[in-house]
Structure 1
């Protein structure tokens, strides 16, 4: 191999985002080889796709199980979570706020239990005493969490939705901490939504390095 071929090979590897994720063990929980192959192909396609003038290329996407299964005629998991890799799942702040908090806990439960982390929830309480103030609580693994308590208005609705995202992530990470598991839930932005990603602590630094080469933003 000549010097030019060596650099050419490095350049090809540089743009192959899915292989970087493969090397850090990101796809290790996917037991369907064919499904994993198509997930990786979709990730690389989206990363290089510049057809959307408003979004552009350079995004790491997390293809959901419904999409991969339907497009490639594979068996859908149908387990209550859209996750295809048992690490990442989509979260919409507006949906968390508007009554779907337990639905997202159900999605997180699938991911957590695949990683041997217990997640059981019950007793969601949404108390809307007045039109201007709400109190929202839930019990997870026998601990009561306050999701949000305070006033709401048109002027602060955006901040409240952000508070809901932060509260959801903080609850999940507290669940992990109470079980002394070496994991962390992080937030990764997409062009049009937010993903929650569960990673082993020893995988996190390498994952950050990969994210730094994309347009995504990561928040711990």
Structure 2
């Protein structure tokens, strides 16, 4: 260690949001250097953007690949998923309930496979016995999961959407556990939707510390 290094102070508190994420290895799966540059710029811009009076600034966003590729005229990933960093993908609870569960599994599959985790799915069954009761299940990696089973009404639709989100996250984490992988899927809130983020345990705690400096909330 040189004399300069010995006296050098830690200026980590001065790093912007994307640099903090870079420091913990969040962007390590992005091979396109130019795309990573624009993703980081967008994250920092959104974090400081105070133009929307209803949500304000201070949010960690996760720019999707469709946006980054179209705005900056870059080649879009040809994998059928909006993920730009191979860790995070957007989920709308209302869409899960309305029949897009397999579409979100497709996005999860792209992220999982980039992280060397197998995810195969089939045999989705949506049994609507009556207008008020549904039984929804799917097979993932040869194991059958009940996504939701119960009564549905206008009065409890918010609770049902939350149960769908929890069920989706629990299924993905069970898939990880059954393969003995050192990773975890967490839920990160956004102003209008939620993000599912797949992280290895060695960066999860540092990621959570970064998110605490934002308006986002995490559910595990």
Q: For this structure pair, what is the TM-score category when the shorter chain's length is used for normalisation?
A: over 0.9
Distance 1:161 1:10, change over 3 A: closer
Deviation at 1:78, TM superposition (A): 2.9
CA distance in 2, matches of 1:120, 1:199: 20
Deviation at 1:25, TM superposition (A): 0.3
Structure 1 stretches (4+) deviating beyond 6 angstroms? none
CA distance in 2, matches of 1:178, 1:50: 43
Partner of 2:39: 39
CA distance in 2, matches of 1:210, 1:78: 31
Deviation at 1:12, TM superposition (A): 3.9
What are the residue-to-residue correspondences of 1:1-220 with 2, within 5 Å? 12-13=14-15, 16-220=16-220
Q: Deviations over 1:8-53 (max 9, x none)?
A: x66642xx00000000000000000000000000000000111111
CA distance in 2, matches of 1:12, 1:199: 24
Report the TM-score when normalising by structure 2: 0.94
CA distance in 2, matches of 1:116, 1:150: 35
CA distance in 1, matches of 2:203, 2:176: 16
3-state SS, counterpart of residue 111 of structure 1: helix
Report the TM-score when normalising by structure 1: 0.94
Structure 2: tracts of 5 or more residues without a match: 1-7
Q: Deviations over 1:56-75 (max 9, x none)?
A: 11000000000000000000
Structure 1: tracts of 5 or more residues without a match: 1-5
Deviation at 1:202, TM superposition (A): 1.1
3-state SS, counterpart of residue 188 of structure 1: strand
CA distance in 2, matches of 1:59, 1:162: 22
Instruction: Number of aligned residue pairs: give it.
Output: 212
Q: Deviations over 1:122-177 (max 9, x none)?
A: 00000001011000000000000000000111111110000000000000000000
